[in-house]
Structure 1
Amino acid sequence: MAERSSLFIRIVEGKNLPAKDINGSSDPYCIVKIDDETIIRTATVWKTLSPFWGEEYKVHLPPNFHSVSFYVMDEDALSRDDVIGKVCLTRNVLAEHPKGYNGWMNLTEIDPDEEVQGEIHLRIEIINTDVPRKVRCTVFEARDLARKDRNGASDPFVRVQYNSKVQESSVVKKSCYPRWNEAFEFDLEETITEKLSIEVWDWDLVSRNDFLGKVLINLNALQTTLHEEGWFRLSPGKSTANIDEGNLGSLQLQVRLRDETVLPSEYYKPLVQLLCQEVKDSYKEKSIKLISLIDDTTSAECRQEVATNLVKLFLGQGIAKEYLDLLFRLELDKTNEPNTLFRSNSLASKSMESFLKVAGTQYLHSVVGLTINRIFEEKKYVELDPSKVEIKEAGCSSLHRIQTESDLIQQSAQYLQSYLTDLLTAITKSVKLCPATIRATFRQLYKRVEECFPENKHMNVKFIAVTSFLCLRFFSPAIMSPKLFHLREKHADARTSRTLLLLAKAIQNVGNMDAPASRAKESWMAPLQPTIQQGVLQLKEFIIKLIDIEEKEELDLQRALNLQSPTVKEGQLMIYKTKGKGYLLASSFKKLFITLTHDALNFAKTSYSKKSSFIPLSRIRALEKVEEKCFGNSNVMQIIYTDETENLGALYLQCKCVNELNQWLSALRKVCVNNTEMLCSYHPGVFKGDKWSCCHQKDKAGAGCDKTRHEVTLQEWNDLLDPDLEAQLIFRHLLGVRELMKEKYVQWAEQANKETPILHSEPQLKDNASQLFQILHDLEAAHNSLTVFSNVDDKEKKYLLEL
């Protein structure tokens, strides 16, 4: 059994932000912190006080996190970025909104006394042997304190207060991981009324000391146990009134917390087997399906999530193609008008959309990546709509003449024709790049639509069925918003965004097989008509080649794919290595091309070079961030691994930005999830000279001063499949619509009996439905029993589960 939490985050937009630049505007972006650790940075939206981001993220994290904070920043090229304001949502607030928090929130001013982080290790004892009784507070160490000084650290000391008496510890210089090992004693009053206060401060020579956090201990609670020891989370001080609240603008957010208790695999086997059998038996007879029951009882707002979970579940079982084929047939049975085929947001459409993202992200990047990069680099002014043409954007075409509207449109058409031609060429050459599973699924779709609409007047329908997914739901959205598909690190500016939109429209027209309705809708796209018509012919030829795949070829391609240990992530990074006693300085770094597979982390000089070295994933022991002060860069991570002699070594990777850093950390953590010897603690600094830069320990092999964070990962479409989690998510959804499914089944059965008194398939559906409802009942009972025993230790819990 595993407890898992995930946060769905959508940062929509901001409004009424204050101007931070001298031009009366700002360049805003958002930083997302979970328990004071930066996880996400949005792209910067330039020169606006009402930015739109529309960025979505899903973060897996430990169930015991405390809060998620959103900081709106103003990017500055020459100085440190300004903080505009923040929004903080605690775990308790999110738990009160099971369907998610969705709305506008006012930004609040940053209060330094509220910006605390970290934990402190204490032991509190009540000593009854002395007269008067005493309370002893032993302060051992602290970790992950806030960085208050310019050197990227703090100079912390502890102030212990009881009943107006105060004692202070020594100051530990330049450390966010200080060790004191000091004890403080106070005489206790006969009646304990005061709390023991432990405050951590950053010592400053010139200015006033900075508050780092505090812990309040209720001594009355120690009357029975007489002592308490452990790590205590530092809390903020007394918050001052935020006089600027409401005047700093606001942020529109969608945040949903989901806690899942994932049971052992055997609990989900009946549910998975029933759904798989449903898919496999769907070819035997034409009948009402459980999948139809799920489709009809799933609301529009959660259909995408349910579709994704089902696709991943069936991918893990190796029958995703069969599942999608079942959905194709169900959709075709309900459709008489070919022009509306797969245009609704049905379970079939959403499942196919999810399938393409899960199975085809690398294919998408290889097809559209070069054209999108070219558009970003060239930054051409492109506009075909006469009502939106701006002459001033073009400037002078020569020293003597300003370009006319006609000149601009003609020039724009040439640019777009060039981009469209490049993109269509990339698509037509991508048959072998397309994953075998996708090709086989499109073959089934093409075949089913051809069987349903065999007439000559519908000869384009089978092509449009394929392009409605490939072009309209896959290529076009990625072209319009490349940042959201990880094709670019930043959002496009207004000019580039317009070019991308026009190109996406052109691809949609090609995907619609140049339908008359598309031409009539936006007649100003006419200059692209020859290229679009040529593209239709190219796309038809491409689809015929794409679906020309036999079962044997599909299996051979799949086996080859499995043998190749597919790439999880790759890219060029700066590599730092440790050597001898100390750390090699920046002059020793190397730029290498790194490839992460399911087996190893490989290094080479370029993407085309032979691999020069590698680290087997089985030897990795920790994957964590490094303190900024170590390298003068905040985007450095470390890989702690064992060498051939079983000694620990460290490798440091420098990334371009915090997003790239977290993506690499996330990818590595996910492929190492089954490593059994991962470390529980690590050093966020480096061993320099004769001590660790973080906690000043002199034992190089000593235990780390901070806890590792293996659980924190970002969800990507190409994540490894997690069958138990997908089964749990499907169970949770079905449990929520169970009563609705029962009602719907009764309605269908009554309708079927009216139309056909003897319905041969109905008993089978009844049997399947009964099985499903019984499985849901059993899983619900298992969850309830585990909730009762949630406080039992792990060994006993395992024993109870086995019973």
Structure 2
Amino acid sequence: MSERVDLWNNGNLVQDIFLGEIKVPVKVLRNDSFQAWYLLQPRENGNKSSKTDDLGSLRLNICYTEDCVLPSEYYTSLRNLLLKSADVQPISASAAYILSEVCRDKYDAVLPLVRLLLHHHKLVPFVAAVAELDLKDTQEANTIFRGNTLATRCVDEMMKIVGKHYLKVTLKPVIDEICESPKPCEIDPIKLREGDNVEINMENLRYYVDKVFREIVRSSISCPTLMCDVFYSLRHLAAKRFPNDPHVQYSAVSSFVFLRFFAVAVVSPHTFHLRPHHPDAQTSRTLTLISKAIQTLGSWGSLTKTKLSSFKETFMCEFFKTFQEETFTESVKKFLDDVSSTESKEPSGVSEPVHLKEGEMYKRAQGRTRIGKKNFKKRWFCLTSREFTYHKQQDKEPIFTIPIKNILAVEKLDESSFNKKNMFQVLHGEKPLYIQANNCVEASEWIEALCRVTRCNQKRLSFYHPSAFLNGNWLCCKATIESSEGCARCTADVPADTQIEIDGDRETERIYSLFTINRSKLQKLEEACGSIAVYQGPRKEPDDYSNFTIEDSVATFHTLQQIIDIVEKLNESHEKYQKKRSSSAKYGSEENPIVGKVS
């Protein structure tokens, strides 16, 4: 097994130039210290290769961070302190916010923090709290969420984690077409080659932009629930901050979903696993032009004459004159409504219910208390954007209808409930609807389809019973009250391949390490809080803590004391655990590995 390292020259922003690549065997990276020179090789992705001796050489200096993750109980105090951050007033006095303040690079803090909060379903309220703090410092609506703050970075990281499948189903087919069958799209007169026809190139570019734009505005039904929840919070916070601007509720969402999500994925498809390699120079240029167009089309009101006159490139201004149609603005508005609403929406531009899926399955009679084959009846099921129904036969009137907005959860059902495989349940306020699909693939498809169309329902359940209520109790938890809260957390709120494996203890250990590394900054911040509390007069000269956000010195000081105390206890736990492991494990084993080179 080997790792491939590509070398690119990105001196001209996104116009990267491929210089060469090397392959390094993974086994050599296991050494404590590894340094070596490698000759750069031609790319192995089907492109015409250049001569090896023209590619130069590359020296690698590889380092890695090793975290010693303790058993889960050691992290209880730190984990609880971080998870309650969204409830701390003000948010700048919370442990999560303080982490971002003391880290030199906010990204170091954002990655483990977002993963931890995401794992424990605490991300949405935290993002809302830090976004509200951002908005306090935002003076103009047209600059909303444009900086690299803790809020914007958290949303960026969240979209990268949970939006992979969304990008795949929305953009991958059209990105593949652009990369595999490229058409010339250069419209900058300075960059045109001899023989290029700018009119044809403009038509090609317009074709690609139309196709990408159309796929995006039709994709709201595939947008992950978590992204919708975050966009909903941002939309309403923005409207509250700028009540006299009717468009800010849209620009607050478009600044993320268009500018920081779709446009970035278009220009760097390899980064989001939409393509296996970095595109060649010509294709990269085409993707850059498409990305610019998508950013502009996605910006609320961007097709006005005032906006067009602000383009730096004259050729882009001329290109966008062909887009001045109300349909583009209305499509963006409808799409943003769909992905930032708390109610189930139909796909953009649709007034009639959209037929999504139908097929024959078995339904268990509701209300039956005994197990028996006679309780299962073959029925024809139909799912539209408005309702889920079943019929005795195809094309017959439905005998039972569940409005989409009333569906609270869709989950698999334990096989032990009725001794039958491939079962799932639809929870909708009345008794659960138990359904048996014909096979496991069909069951997964129905669950995914139902989850997608109900992803924005406001009253979605957080917990459910994985088994049925039979003979006076729930088979899963033995609770005797049929209306009791579920005993398992809902899992099927997103398609299966968007779910990620997160080790909460590992992320907490990483955060502990960051606090340990930045112990001196924690102490400076603690001293700053003390100084503010003692001296309340005007500060004439910049202080050592002028870069810190301290809204409430007393609350911040209290949190800092908790952090420092927890870090000290974890330091002691690490030392004790390492000593215990070293003394009880055989030297050279996985638990007590040899440190240093063997002579």
Q: Quick one: which amino acid aligns to residue 549 of structure 1?
A: T
Per-residue deviation, 1:556: 8.6
| Contact residue 33 and residue 68 of structure 1 kept, 8 A | no
Task: Find the structure with the greater CA-based Rg.
Answer: 1
Q: What is the alpha-carbon distance in structure 1 between the residues aligned to residue 36 and residue 412 of structure 2?
A: 41
Percent of aligned positions that are identical: 24
Equivalent residue number for residue 529 of structure 1: 321
Equivalent residue number for residue 294 of structure 1: 99
Q: What is the alpha-carbon distance in structure 1 between the residues aligned to residue 551 and residue 22 of structure 2?
A: 59
| Contact residue 209 and residue 290 of structure 2 kept, 8 A | yes
Per-residue deviation, 1:727: 0.6
Per-residue deviation, 1:539: 1.3
Corresponding residue to 2:192 among 376, 384, 389? 389
| Contact residue 163 and residue 224 of structure 2 kept, 8 A | yes
1:328-355 per-position Cα deviation (integer Å, ceiling 9, x unaligned): 1121123223333322222212111100
| Contact residue 228 and residue 340 of structure 2 kept, 8 A | yes
Corresponding residue to 1:724 among 505, 508, 516? 505
Equivalent residue number for residue 24 of structure 2: 32
Are 2:284 and 1:497 aligned? yes
Q: How does 1:172-571 map to 2 (within 5 A)?
A: 249-251=56-58, 255-282=62-89, 288-299=93-104, 302-392=105-195, 394=196, 408-456=197-245, 459-513=246-300, 514=302, 516=306, 519-525=310-316, 526-531=318-323, 534-550=327-343, 559-560=409-410, 563=412
Q: In 2 relative to 1, CA 755–563 (structure 1 residues): closer, same or farther, beyond 3 Å? A: farther
Equivalent residue number for residue 568 of structure 1: none
1:500-551 per-position Cα deviation (integer Å, ceiling 9, x unaligned): 1100011111233317467422221122334365433311211112112259
| Contact residue 37 and residue 58 of structure 2 kept, 8 A | no
| Contact residue 437 and residue 554 of structure 1 kept, 8 A | no
| Contact residue 21 and residue 42 of structure 2 kept, 8 A | yes
Q: In 2 relative to 1, CA 28–742 (structure 1 residues): closer, same or farther, beyond 3 Å? A: closer
Q: In 2 relative to 1, CA 62–256 (structure 1 residues): closer, same or farther, beyond 3 Å? A: closer
Bigger mean CA deviation after superposition, 778-787 or 424-433: 778-787
Per-residue deviation, 1:323: 1.5
SS at match of 1:251: strand
Q: In 2 relative to 1, CA 298–718 (structure 1 residues): closer, same or farther, beyond 3 Å? A: farther
Q: In 2 relative to 1, CA 253–795 (structure 1 residues): closer, same or farther, beyond 3 Å? A: closer
Per-residue deviation, 1:435: 0.9
1:433-480 per-position Cα deviation (integer Å, ceiling 9, x unaligned): 111111011000111111111113xx3333222122212221112111
Q: How does 1:671-710 map to 2 (within 5 A)?
A: none
Equivalent residue number for residue 701 of structure 1: none
Q: Quick one: which amino acid aligns to residue 448 of structure 1?
A: L
Q: In 2 relative to 1, CA 347–725 (structure 1 residues): closer, same or farther, beyond 3 Å? A: same
Q: What is the alpha-carbon distance in structure 2 between the residues aligned to residue 731 and residue 481 of structure 1?
A: 33
Are 2:567 and 1:776 aligned? yes
Q: In 2 relative to 1, CA 77–325 (structure 1 residues): closer, same or farther, beyond 3 Å? A: closer
Bigger mean CA deviation after superposition, 286-295 or 353-362: 286-295
Paired residues, what number? 429
Q: Quick one: which amino acid aligns to residue 787 of structure 1?
A: Q
| Contact residue 440 and residue 554 of structure 1 kept, 8 A | no
Q: What is the alpha-carbon distance in structure 2 between the residues aligned to residue 440 and residue 68 of structure 1?
A: 48
SS at match of 2:240: helix
Mark the runs of 5 or more structure 2 residues left unpaired by the alignment.
Answer: 11-17, 345-402, 415-437, 443-496, 539-549, 592-599
Per-residue deviation, 1:62: 7.2
Corresponding residue to 1:736 among 517, 524, 546? 517
Equivalent residue number for residue 41 of structure 2: 73
Equivalent residue number for residue 40 of structure 1: none
Per-residue deviation, 1:266: 0.8
SS at match of 1:391: coil
Q: Quick one: which amino acid aligns to residue 520 of structure 2?
A: E
Structure in which a larger fraction of residues adopt strand:
1
Q: Quick one: which amino acid aligns to residue 323 of structure 1?
A: F
TM-score, with length taken from structure 1: 0.48
Q: What is the alpha-carbon distance in structure 1 between the residues aligned to residue 333 and residue 524 of structure 2?
A: 45
1:348-400 per-position Cα deviation (integer Å, ceiling 9, x unaligned): 121111000111110011111122122123311111211111133x4xxxxxx
Q: In 2 relative to 1, CA 255–454 (structure 1 residues): closer, same or farther, beyond 3 Å? A: farther
Mark the runs of 5 or more structure 1 residues left unpaired by the alignment.
Answer: 1-6, 16-25, 37-60, 86-246, 395-407, 566-608, 614-715
Per-residue deviation, 1:559: 4.3
| Contact residue 413 and residue 528 of structure 1 kept, 8 A | no
Q: Quick one: which amino acid aligns to residue 341 of structure 2?
A: D
| Contact residue 91 and residue 130 of structure 2 kept, 8 A | no
Q: Quick one: which amino acid aligns to residue 444 of structure 1?
A: S
Q: Quick one: which amino acid aligns to residue 446 of structure 1?
A: R
SS at match of 1:73: coil
Q: What is the alpha-carbon distance in structure 2 between the residues aligned to residue 339 and residue 482 of structure 1?
A: 28
Equivalent residue number for residue 403 of structure 1: none
Q: In 2 relative to 1, CA 270–792 (structure 1 residues): closer, same or farther, beyond 3 Å? A: same
Q: In 2 relative to 1, CA 33–541 (structure 1 residues): closer, same or farther, beyond 3 Å? A: same
Per-residue deviation, 1:9: 9.2
SS at match of 2:171: helix
Per-residue deviation, 1:726: 0.6
| Contact residue 93 and residue 551 of structure 2 kept, 8 A | no
| Contact residue 325 and residue 445 of structure 1 kept, 8 A | yes
Q: In 2 relative to 1, CA 66–787 (structure 1 residues): closer, same or farther, beyond 3 Å? A: farther
SS at match of 1:505: helix
Equivalent residue number for residue 787 of structure 1: 578
SS at match of 1:342: coil
Per-residue deviation, 1:308: 1.4
Q: Quick one: which amino acid aligns to residue 784 of structure 1?
A: E
| Contact residue 29 and residue 72 of structure 1 kept, 8 A | yes
| Contact residue 529 and residue 556 of structure 2 kept, 8 A | no
Q: In 2 relative to 1, CA 772–353 (structure 1 residues): closer, same or farther, beyond 3 Å? A: same
| Contact residue 324 and residue 352 of structure 1 kept, 8 A | yes
